[in-house]
Structures are given as C-alpha cells and as structure tokens.
Amino acid sequence: MAVEQGVETGGFPSIEVTSLTELSSRLYEEARRKSNPYIIGVTGSVGKTTTVAFLEHLIREAGYPVTRFWSKRLTPLLVQCHYINRVDVDTPFVVMEYSAYGADHVEQLSQVLPPNIAFLSNIYDMHINPGMFESKKDIFDSKIRIRPGDATGFINNAVLQELGMRDVKGWSNFSVDDELSGFNPHLPLTLRTAELHTVGRILADNIGIPTDTFRRAFTTFEPQERRLVSVQYERARVFFDGEVTVGARQWSWFETLDGRVPTLMVDHIHFGDEDPNGYIKMLREIFASPETYVLDTESNRQSLPVSANFVDEQKFGSVFKKALGGYVVYHKAMSTRDPNFDPETYLHQRWN
C-alpha cells in the first residue's frame, strides 16, 4: 500500500511516497506506453451508462476482450487507476462514458484517455444549474470536447437541429434508427433505446463486427448497474426506475417510438444533488400527464416543485394493478443504488 507522509496505515504494510497523484500519473504513463487499446467514448445527457454497457456487450459477443470504465463520478485520477489496474498489455478495446460534472470535465477526461471514436448521443437541460451551465449550448460546448482532433466523431442530428446548427467540423452526423433490429424485453421502445441501437450499429460498422452479431447482441443485452430494470409483477412486465429523479431521465420514458404514454407510478421522489429548477419545464410536462400518479406522502409533496396528481396509497395500488399489461414504469428514487434492494421483491411485498 502506498501512502503519503503522515497517513495512518493501521498496521498494514506500506511504502511512503511524496505524492499519490504523481505516483498514479507515472504508473499510468507506463501502462499507456505498454498497451494500445482502441478507446470508445460516449457522452450525452441521458443514457450513457446503458449505452456504454451495450457496447461492451456487443464487443464481447463479437469475441473480443473489452474493458469498461464506469463510475457515478469518473475523475481523471480514477480513470488512471482503472487503466493501471484493469487494462492488460493485449487489451484490444476500452469503452468509457465521459460525463460532465463541470464545464471542463469532459475535456479533462478526454485528455487523460483520448477516444479513438466518440459519440455525442443527446443533450437535455438537466445540467442547467447555478455554477454549471446556463444553456444547452453551454452543455454542447462542454461535451463536444470529448473528441481529440484526430479522432472519429459521430453526433446526433437532433442535437444539432435543436441548436440551429447543420454540422460541426471534424464530426459526422447520424440520424437515430427508427426501426430496431429485434426485440429486447429488457429495453423499452423509447428514443434512448433507439440511440443505443444506432450508436452500436455505427460502432459495429467501424470496427468490423458483422450485422448478425450486432443483432444478436442487441436482443440479448441486459442493462447494467440497475439503471434500468425490467421486472415481472403478477405476470406482467414493469420497468422499474430506481435511480435519482432527474427530469430528462423520467422524460425519456415518454419519448416512445410507437407514441405510447407510460403509466408512471411515482412511489418516491429524490433529486439527489441535482437542482430541479434547472429543468422545471420538463418536470411540469412529466407530472402534468394524466397517466402520472404520485404517492401522496409528505416527503413527495415537499420535494416536488410542480403540481402533480397526488393519490393516496389505496388508489395508487389500484391504479398500478389496473395498468398491468400495458406500458408501466414504477419510480422509487435512489432505491436501486442499494445493492441489497430487489425491485421485484419490493413490488410484491408492497402491493400484495
């Protein structure tokens, strides 16, 4: 164990170093010198984690080793540590999400681990907060820095159209696939799924993965980190959203490919460290839907800054059960961050 001067080790064997940051940088430089994987980077407002997990699955289905870098807060130092500990001399592929927790964060990550191919999938106003970003253009200007000058880059046409732009120098544009190559019971028929499908297809074309392999990978993929969970409740499929309440995340359930509106059952609201005032318009649209029901609790009323259809426990359970068999989303914020929490067990215990 390496420690800086003055750090207690609790009796464990250790060596003292002047700077852990400097040590990490030197070890990282050596690891980079000895290896040369093809780096695949994904950025955007929503869906990065699931998309990157799909790309990892796609590459494995094609028969190649691959390492995925993921964390709720990837920092340059953490990226270095991931690389040192998890990338071997002969590792052919690394896939990573490049998140923006500050105006320069994506660029900092890209400087540490420059992608060979980069994707910008979408932009929403969920990042508009005091001290962060003031507009979608600010978000765009931050995330576009994922691509080094000599890398291949693909950007969603919808992003450019919303910002009144036609193209960006050095980037290729893509339109999201309007038809999927197969059915996956773990994925909803939403724009996020179509973006994931499109990014995977483009990557497959660029690195030589056959179409049949891509199709098989899409239909067999299961989302990771429990960001998106498909569960069975009374023989019906329910999408369980146990992540933080963030406007764009919940709005994604409404952006369907077939025009369906979800029955959104909101058990618990929690915005984490996000400022809901940054995406208040989106929240109004979500909670104004006649198919959105919020469990009437003091916590939910205090947390939600917009009007909503609050219902008591009896009606909440009744509506939930009547909606089964349709497109149902159950939101209990922050629940799936607990590794011991099981969504399917919870639903049966809560409503049976």
Q: Is the pLDDT of residue 15 over 60?
A: no
Q: Are 169 and 248 part of one and the same domain?
A: no
Domain boundary among 188, 220, 252: 220
- Residue 249 CA, chain-centre distance (Å), reads 9
CA distances from 11 to 7, 17, 23, 302 (A): 11, 17, 22, 48
* CATH label of the domain that carries residue 117: 3.40.1190.10
pTM, entire model: 0.92
Q: Is the pLDDT of residue 17 over 60?
A: no
Domain containing 117: what range?
35-220
Q: Are 132 and 173 part of one and the same domain?
A: yes
Of 7-16, 43-52, 197-206, 229-238, minimum mean pLDDT range: 7-16
Kindly state the average pLDDT of the residues 100-107.
85
User: How many domains is the chain partitioned into structurally?
Assistant: 2
Q: Are 215 and 236 part of one and the same domain?
A: no
115: which DSSP letter? -
Residue type, 284: R
Question: How far apart (Å, rounded) are the C-alpha atoms in residues 49 and 42?
Answer: 9
Kindly state the average pLDDT of the residues 32-37.
96
Q: Are 204 and 238 part of one and the same domain?
A: no
Quote the tokens at residue 152.
């291949």
Q: Are 247 and 286 part of one and the same domain?
A: yes
Q: Is the pLDDT of residue 337 over 70?
A: yes
Domain boundary among 220, 240, 267: 220
With a pLDDT cut of 70, the percent of the chain lying above it is: 92
Q: Is the pLDDT of residue 162 over 60?
A: yes
Q: Are 273 and 202 part of one and the same domain?
A: no
Contacts of 158 (CB under 8 A, 6+ apart): 122, 175, 176
Say if residues 289 and 264 touch (Cβ distance below 8 Å). Answer: yes
Of 61-75, 127-141, 298-312, minimum mean pLDDT range: 127-141
Q: Are 200 and 145 part of one and the same domain?
A: yes
Q: Is the pLDDT of residue 14 over 60?
A: no
Q: Is the pLDDT of residue 71 over 80?
A: no
Contacts of 26 (CB under 8 A, 6+ apart): none
Q: Are 347 and 254 part of one and the same domain?
A: yes
| pLDDT value for 230 | 96
Q: Are 184 and 311 part of one and the same domain?
A: no
Residue 22 in domain: no
